[in-house]
Amino acid sequence: LVSGMYVAARRMLHNLPACDVALLLESSPPKSRAVIWQLVDPDEHGEILEELSEEVQKSIIRQMAPEKLAAATEGMDTDDLAYVLRGLPDPVYQEVLKSMDEQDRQRAEMALSYDEDTAGGIMNTDTVTLRPDVTVDVVMRYLRLKGQLPEATDKLYVVNRDDQFIGEVALSRLLTVDTARLVSDIMTPDVQGIPADLDETEVAKLFERHDWVSAPVVDNEGHLLGRITIDDVVDIIREEAQHSMLSMAGLEDDEDTFAPVLKSTRRRTIWLAVNLVTALLAAAVSSLFEDILSQMAVLAILNTIVPSMGGIAGSQTLTLVIRGMALGHITPSNSRWLIGKELAIGALNGLIWACLIAAVVALWQQSWMVGVIIAFAMMANLLAAGLAGVTVPMLLKKFEIDPALAGGVILTTVTDVVGIFAFLGTATLLLG
Amino acid sequence: LVSGMYVAARRMLHNLPACDVALLLESSPPKSRAVIWQLVDPDEHGEILEELSEEVQKSIIRQMAPEKLAAATEGMDTDDLAYVLRGLPDPVYQEVLKSMDEQDRQRAEMALSYDEDTAGGIMNTDTVTLRPDVTVDVVMRYLRLKGQLPEATDKLYVVNRDDQFIGEVALSRLLTVDTARLVSDIMTPDVQGIPADLDETEVAKLFERHDWVSAPVVDNEGHLLGRITIDDVVDIIREEAQHSMLSMAGLEDDEDTFAPVLKSTRRRTIWLAVNLVTALLAAAVSSLFEDILSQMAVLAILNTIVPSMGGIAGSQTLTLVIRGMALGHITPSNSRWLIGKELAIGALNGLIWACLIAAVVALWQQSWMVGVIIAFAMMANLLAAGLAGVTVPMLLKKFEIDPALAGGVILTTVTDVVGIFAFLGTATLLLG
């Protein structure tokens, strides 16, 4: 590359907002990523790091010098700061912590004391607090003196002398009430602060249900610790929703599309290993019927149809049940109704496709008998698919295994085994 | 049921917040849904309808009398109002529109003039506007007179005499500046209003990138039409993220877990029909090798392993590419790198699993030759899976077909056909 191009690229990167540089980094293969990062103005490192997805952030942090990293963390939101520190190997971590200023170090240590997937791990400490016994007029003068409020501030929090959270005042309320009134008089009391150890999934549900823009985080004694803002919750909601889709393909949430080949291969190999066991099991079931298979090649040719249809029907049910679980729609009281429904769908679809496949096969292979056999197997397997599609994820959930991750493999195993047994077993009985 | 129980249930429903009643309705089979709806206080109908997912909302609206529906729509957000009206059959629609008051009818007609998936379709008309030439002090007095601001108001919009949007003032800014200053002096100018015809997916991307809580919507001439708030955007983000997962199983976005059996069967049947064609195609490919299959039953037994592994490997790549496309990470300039990467992963995983399956098969079936054949087929199919996993969704996108919907079927067809050809074809060449 000509050096003039570097200058032009550097200027271009400098003019892009941080979120665009982050998008560019995420869309680039590893080598280009390193080059782009070198060209970015170090003053913007912190802001760009905050915008990056976890996996890409980690890969960049690992290559930064500790003192540069410490400089980049200045002014970062508490939650991002904690996340960055968590990803560091111990010696670098200590070094970065040492080169940070006192206030940042304290913020970081507080956030690090909570699990990263809890309210405490995603909160920021930039709350603006009020005392209950002052007037709106005083609050207004205090705010004008302050000159600026943290981003996404829609409420001020009211605390007592012990720093315990006792209520909140929306900015819109401050602007619409008589300025002579007391804070204690206009605040919304009885607001439940979010416990610092609440899981982030639950935090997201609370935000979605109450349409919050921000919410206070408290410890066990009710002390105000910080606040969570909607922009962090949006990230959680997106991740949660993507989690199911990625898990169903055996991928991890933070899988980076442009990760190096070796890393990606290692991650995906595990899932192929699990599937190989399933495929060998299906082959072993087929091998039980070697006699009839060696007599009639037509059975070998048709052997994949019934398992394949069962797999598709079962996946549809499974996908719906997994989504229903994530949304909190599926409960013990309605699961029996759901099993009945999916069995009924299985029976109906079974009937339709059994008739159709019987006709196709009878015409194609000129054998009514084979048509009847495949029709029976189809019917049995679509029923099994409906039943397994509901019960497998429910059982997995009971044993606290992620249904999105393990559900598909177990379901396919069921539909493969039932499909092959029903088809080749019936064939052996009737034709063997 | 005893009538006393009805009273108790009614009281319980009355005490639940609207979002909880909505969750209860969404988690109930059709019959219970109707009963619960009957027990709900009609005054709360509107609020509950707003909280329901589209499919469930539709099923309830269809059973309501037009005048009750008109009553329920009073005070609804503009976007929800438009959505409800869109779902109605024409005669009912006219009747509901007639029984609404003038202001609501105007709001509804405006929202209905935009496509429901655009900024105009999801905006609300509850904006608070300011003139540029007044002081902060005047604004404050105006707001105090008003007494209340619409929910999720974080900014006031500044418009000129022609109602054109010229800037915005955050509430937090109003509270922190000198009250003698002019609005024109403290507003953020040069803010780009969202065009009313912008697609909702793009709207969501803008909100996510800029961490907005609300944003103004304008028409082609820059007139302020309304605003979009983050709570509606959160719904879009969740739907978008779920869309890919549901589409990959051939399900529609608004699929209701508790829909009646016949409706669900009809929806899912199409996908099974598509899959049957794929399965028959695979069977047809196998039938080309009927000779060798009838000679060696072992080939029939092992015939499913290679296609199955290819399907899994391909789905992993496909899932990542679909997610990458949704996030805007995949561009023409990096797609060649990505194909190279996925081919390399395919080759590496191919090598690993070819060796392993060769060993397993050689030991199990006591035939080195069959081991070599399946190893070669595995290698070929995992390469094909990597290539198809990247190129299939890209081609589909080029032809404007949803990759999440059609990608899986096409990919499986490729891995089935390549897998069977490679395995049975090589067997015919070497053993036939």
User: Which pLDDT belongs to residue B86?
Assistant: 80
Question: Which residues in chain A are contacts of B341 at CB distance < 8 A?
Answer: 29, 258, 261, 264
pLDDT tens digits, A281-311: 999 999 999 989 888 889 999 999 999 999 9
User: Which pLDDT belongs to residue B12?
Assistant: 83
B257 with A329: Cβ contact below 8 A: yes
**B251 domain residue, yes or no:** no
Do residues A405 and A284 both lie within one domain? yes
User: Which pLDDT belongs to residue A2?
Assistant: 56
Question: How many C-beta neighbours within 10 Å does residue B329 have?
Answer: 23
Q: Using CA atoms, how far apart are residues B69 and B48, in angstroms rounded to an integer?
A: 12
**A254 domain residue, yes or no:** no
Q: What is the DSSP string of B353-381?
A: HHHHHHHHHHHHHS-HHHHHHHHHHHHHH
User: Which pLDDT belongs to residue B226?
Assistant: 92
Q: Which of residues 134-173 of A touch B (CB under 8 A)?
A: 140, 143-144, 146-149, 151-154, 171-172
- Least confident window among A151-165, B92-106, B153-167, B293-307: B92-106
Q: How confident is the model at residue B2 (pLDDT cuts 50, 70, 90)?
A: low
User: Which pLDDT belongs to residue A297?
Assistant: 87
Tokens describing residue B365: 């079936």
A305 with B290: Cβ contact below 8 A: no
- Distance from chain centroid for Cα A427: 45
User: Which pLDDT belongs to residue A307?
Assistant: 93
Q: Using CA atoms, how far apart are residues A248 and B404, in angstroms rounded to an integer?
A: 14
Q: How far is CA A187 from CA A72, A147, A210, in A?
A: 38, 22, 18
Q: How confident is the model at residue A184 (pLDDT cuts 50, 70, 90)?
A: very high
Q: Which long-range contacts (CB under 8 A, 24 or more apart) does A189-193 make?
A: A191/A165, A191/A167, A191/A216, A193/A165, A193/A217, A193/A218, A193/A222, A193/A224
Question: Which residues in chain A are contacts of B255 at CB distance < 8 A?
Answer: 320
Greatest CA separation for chain B? 96
Give yes or no for a contact between B227 and B149, defined as CB atoms under 8 angstroms apart. no
pLDDT tens digits, B89-132: 777 788 888 877 787 788 778 878 888 889 998 898 888 999 99
HEC per residue, B85-104:
HHCCCHHHHHHHHHHCCHHH
Helix segments in B211-260, DSSP class H: 230-248
DSSP state at residue A16: S
Does the pLDDT at position A1 exceed 60? no
**B248 domain residue, yes or no:** no
A262-276, B2-16, B191-205 — most confident range: B191-205
Q: Using CA atoms, how far apart are residues A208 and B19, in angstroms rounded to an integer?
A: 10
**A122 domain residue, yes or no:** no
Q: Domain total for chain A?
A: 3
Give yes or no for a contact between B164 and B157, defined as CB atoms under 8 angstroms apart. no
CA–CA min distance B95, chain A (Å): 32
Q: Give the mean model confidence (pLDDT) for residues A325-336.
A: 84
User: Which pLDDT belongs to residue A395?
Assistant: 93
**Who's near B145: CB < 8 A, 6+ residues apart?**
none
Nearest to A26 among B144, B304, B329 (CB): B329
Do residues A328 and A424 both lie within one domain? yes
Question: How many C-beta neighbours within 10 Å does residue A262 have?
Answer: 11
**B17 domain residue, yes or no:** yes
Tokens 């996510």 appear where?
B208
Residue where a domain stops, chosen among B64, B87, B122: B122
Specify the 3-state DSSP secondary structure of B113.
Answer: coil
Question: Which residues in chain B are contacts of A154 at CB distance < 8 A?
Answer: 154, 171, 213
B237 with A242: Cβ contact below 8 A: no
Residue where a domain stops, chosen among A201, A220, A248: A248
pLDDT tens digits, A230-280: 988 988 888 887 888 888 888 887 778 888 888 888 888 888 898 999 999
Q: Using CA atoms, how far apart are residues A200 and A119, in angstroms rounded to an integer?
A: 6
Q: Using CA atoms, how far apart are residues B241 and A323, in angstroms rounded to an integer?
A: 11
Q: Which of residues 177-236 of A touch B (CB under 8 A)?
A: 177-179, 207-211, 213, 230-231, 233-234
- Helix axis angle, B261-287 to A332-365, nearest 10°: 40
Tokens 């059982």 appear where?
A395
DSSP β-bridge partners for residue B224: B218
Q: Give the mean model confidence (pLDDT) for residues B127-146.
A: 93
Q: What is the mean pLDDT of chain A?
A: 88
pLDDT tens digits, B360-391: 989 988 888 999 999 999 999 999 999 999 99
A308 with B282: Cβ contact below 8 A: yes
Nearest to A19 among B19, B209, B308 (CB): B209
User: Which pLDDT belongs to residue B367?
Assistant: 86
Q: What is the DSSP string of B23-56?
A: HHHHTS-HHHHHHHHHHS-GGGHHHHHHHS-HHH
Pairing of β A214-218 and β A224-229: antiparallel
User: Which pLDDT belongs to residue B244?
Assistant: 83
Q: CATH number for the domain including B162?
A: 3.10.580.10
Q: Using CA atoms, how far apart are residues B417 and B419, in angstroms rounded to an integer?
A: 5
Question: Which residues in chain B are contacts of A148 at CB distance < 8 A?
Answer: 172, 176
Q: Give the mean model confidence (pLDDT) for residues A32-45.
A: 87
Does the pLDDT at position B254 exceed 80? no
Q: Using CA atoms, how far apart are residues B334 and A369, in angstroms rounded to an integer?
A: 54
Residue where a domain stops, chosen among A248, A269, A284: A248
Q: Which one, of B163, B156, B155, B133, lies nearest residue B224 by Cα?
A: B163
Question: How many C-beta neighbours within 10 Å does residue B158 have?
Answer: 26
Q: Considering chain A, what percentage of its residues have pLDDT values greater than 90?
A: 44
Specify the 3-state DSSP secondary structure of A105.
Answer: helix
Do residues B353 and B216 both lie within one domain? no
Pairing of β A224-229 and β A194-195: unpaired
Do residues B17 and B138 both lie within one domain? no
Do residues B403 and B280 both lie within one domain? yes
Q: Using CA atoms, how far apart are residues B18 and B423, in angstroms rounded to an integer?
A: 59
User: Which pLDDT belongs to residue B3?
Assistant: 65
Give yes or no for a contact between B215 and B194, defined as CB atoms under 8 angstroms apart. yes
pLDDT tens digits, A117-144: 899 988 988 889 999 999 999 999 999 9
Do residues B207 and B347 both lie within one domain? no
Q: How confident is the model at residue B11 (pLDDT cuts 50, 70, 90)?
A: confident
Q: What is the mean pLDDT of chain B?
A: 88
CA dihedral B56, B60, B66, B70 (to 10 degrees): -60
Q: Using CA atoms, how far apart are residues A150 and B307, in angstroms rounded to an integer?
A: 56
User: Which pLDDT belongs to residue A197?
Assistant: 92
Q: Does the CB of B312 have a partner CB in chain A at under 8 Å? A: yes
Q: How confident is the model at residue A334 (pLDDT cuts 50, 70, 90)?
A: confident
User: Which pLDDT belongs to residue B396?
Assistant: 93
Do residues B173 and B316 both lie within one domain? no
What is the enclosing helix (H) or strand (E) of B168? strand B165-170
Do residues B379 and B305 both lie within one domain? yes
**B245 domain residue, yes or no:** no
Q: Is the pLDDT higher at B82 or at B290?
A: B290
Q: How far is CA B277 from CA A150, A352, B87, B269, in A?
A: 58, 15, 34, 13
Q: How confident is the model at residue A3 (pLDDT cuts 50, 70, 90)?
A: low
Give yes or no for a contact between B104 and B96, defined as CB atoms under 8 angstroms apart. no
Nearest to A353 among B276, B298, B299 (CB): B276
Q: CATH number for the domain including B22?
A: 1.25.60.10
Q: How far is CA A308 from CA A318, A418, B275, B297, in A?
A: 15, 11, 8, 20
Tell me the one-letter amino acid at A9.
A
Do residues B194 and B343 both lie within one domain? no
Does the pLDDT at position A186 exceed 80? yes
Give yes or no for a contact between A168 and A216, defined as CB atoms under 8 angstroms apart. yes
Do residues A237 and A367 both lie within one domain? no
Does the pLDDT at position A54 exceed 90? no
**B339 domain residue, yes or no:** yes
Do residues B118 and B138 both lie within one domain? no
Q: Which of residues 336-365 of A touch B (CB under 8 A)?
A: 337-338, 341, 344-345, 348-349, 352-353, 356-357, 360
A349 with B269: Cβ contact below 8 A: yes
Tell me the one-letter amino acid at A217.
V
Domain containing A237: what range? 129-248
**B277 domain residue, yes or no:** yes
Tell me the one-letter amino acid at A185.
D
Do residues A20 and A110 both lie within one domain? yes
Q: CATH number for the domain including B355?
A: 1.10.357.20
Q: Which one, of B280, B252, B248, lies nearest residue B264 by Cα?
A: B252
